[in-house]
Amino acid sequence: MKYYETLQNGKIKCILCRHYCQLKEGQIGICGVNKNENGKLTNLVYSHPSALNVDPVEKKPLFHFLPGTLALSLGTVGCNFACPFCQNWGISQSRNIDKSISISPFQIVELAKNYKCKSIAYTYNEPTIFYPYAKDIGVIAKEQGIKNIFVSNGFESLEVIKDMSNWLDGANIDLKSWNENYYKKILKGGLDAVKDTLRVMVSEGIWIEVTTLLIEGDNDSQKDLEEMAAFIAEELGKFVPWHLSAFHPDFKMKDHDYTKVETLKKAYDIAKKAGLYYVYLGNISLPEDTYCPKCDKLLIDRSGYSVTLNEIKGGKCPNCGREIEGVWK
């Protein structure tokens, strides 16, 4: 895939995300890491990760994707959003690229193998902005039996989504709000684009889980939660897991209150009423277990990010035989 289009007067159009930045010679896009150099798009963070860790896949969070396994997780500086509550703002809002750190795609895959990781997660900041690097890693990983995960704000271009369906196995996509104005003014993105991304990813066969960070007063109204739940159930599928996570004060919102347990439970009830099979409450000390939607058997018992029990056999409930949606092998 070519990641840009050539325009007139030496300009190019970056096609990595929905901003579709038009860049003149020497100009860098909104993300801070993609630049027009000599009429071509240069990804300035290619091979320069700023965060690299081994995490439980449950931390992404992905609960229906190789449970109990490890994911090699990496991110760079930069982002195409400006979320005031970002917990990784130290890298996402930074434009300081440490070029003394250079790790090739092949070396990333070797690290994943050395640490016995079943997947590689492109996360911490928005991976769409370092898609050329992520894809080169992902193609090598796929050839060697390692799966690939995006943890994303869902602002990918349609061109990228179509391209990633050939190598990406799963994604957790943030549905940050149900208000287009909030997306545009506060987050510097767009709700309609995120909804479109979710629809297309599902249609392309990428395993999707959705996360909503509930911030009281911003995105937790009864109406918004009901409409979000209906969208997931009716347009994506009742089988799509929805992670409802508690907000903690961070970055530019340190004076905002923590999300109350009652708020999360209200959202949970709304999601279940909409017919969603798998709803999980995150960032609080409540169980996040998986039950069979048909017979209610406990299938996966989780304690924090650890799986203490996994009864799913061959992708099915051992009690009633119902197929449990997810990626199990």
Predicted pLDDT at 132:
98
227-258 tens-digit pLDDT: 999 999 999 999 999 999 999 999 999 999 99
Across residues 292-315, what is the average pLDDT? 97
Task: Please tell me the distance from the alpha carbon of residue 300 to that of residue 315, in angstroms, as a whole number.
Answer: 12
User: Does the 51-287 domain belong in CATH 3.20.20.70?
Assistant: yes
Exposure b/e, 212-246, CB count within 10 A at least 16 = b: bbbbeebbbeeebbbebbbbbbeebeebbbbbbbb
Task: Please tell me the distance from the alpha carbon of residue 234 to that of residue 122, in angstroms, as a whole number.
Answer: 28
Average pLDDT, the chain: 97
Predicted pLDDT at 206:
98
The Cβ of residue 255 has, within 10 Å, a number of other Cβ atoms equal to: 6
Across residues 54-65, what is the average pLDDT? 98
Across residues 137-160, what is the average pLDDT? 98
> What proportion of the chain, given as a percentage, has pLDDT over 70?
100
Contact 221, 232 (CB under 8 A): no
149 pLDDT tier (thresholds 50, 70, 90)? very high
Of 28, 42, 12, 14, give the one whose Cα is nearest residue 159: 14
Predicted pLDDT at 285:
82
Would you state the structure tokens that stand for residue 35, as one six-digit string? Answer: 């630049």
Q: Give the predicted TM-score (pTM) of the model.
A: 0.97
* pLDDT higher than 90, residue 146: yes
30-44 tens-digit pLDDT: 999 999 999 999 999
176-233 tens-digit pLDDT: 999 999 999 999 999 999 999 999 999 999 999 999 999 999 999 999 999 999 999 9
Predicted pLDDT at 287:
87
Would you state the structure tokens that stand for residue 316, as one six-digit string? Answer: 């099915």
Q: H or E stretch including 223? A: helix 222-231
Contact 160, 131 (CB under 8 A): yes
Q: Which of the two residues, 285 and 238, has the higher pLDDT score?
A: 238
Predicted pLDDT at 313:
95
80 pLDDT tier (thresholds 50, 70, 90)? very high
> What proportion of the chain, given as a percentage, has pLDDT over 90?
99
Across residues 101-130, what is the average pLDDT? 98
CA distances from 172 to 74, 100, 197, 202, 243 (A): 15, 30, 12, 12, 9
Task: Please tell me the distance from the alpha carbon of residue 221 to that of residue 263, in angstroms, as a whole number.
Answer: 10
3 pLDDT tier (thresholds 50, 70, 90)? very high
DSSP states of 126-172:
-GGGGHHHHHHHHHHHHHTT-EEEEEE-S-B-HHHHHHHTTT--EEE
Across residues 117-122, what is the average pLDDT? 98
317 pLDDT tier (thresholds 50, 70, 90)? very high
Find residue 171's DSSP bridge partners.
150, 208
Predicted pLDDT at 318:
98
Three-class SS state of 185: helix
* pLDDT higher than 90, residue 82: yes
Domain ranges in the chain are 4-43, 51-287, 289-329
Across residues 111-122, what is the average pLDDT? 98
* pLDDT higher than 90, residue 327: yes
Predicted pLDDT at 138:
98
* pLDDT higher than 90, residue 286: no
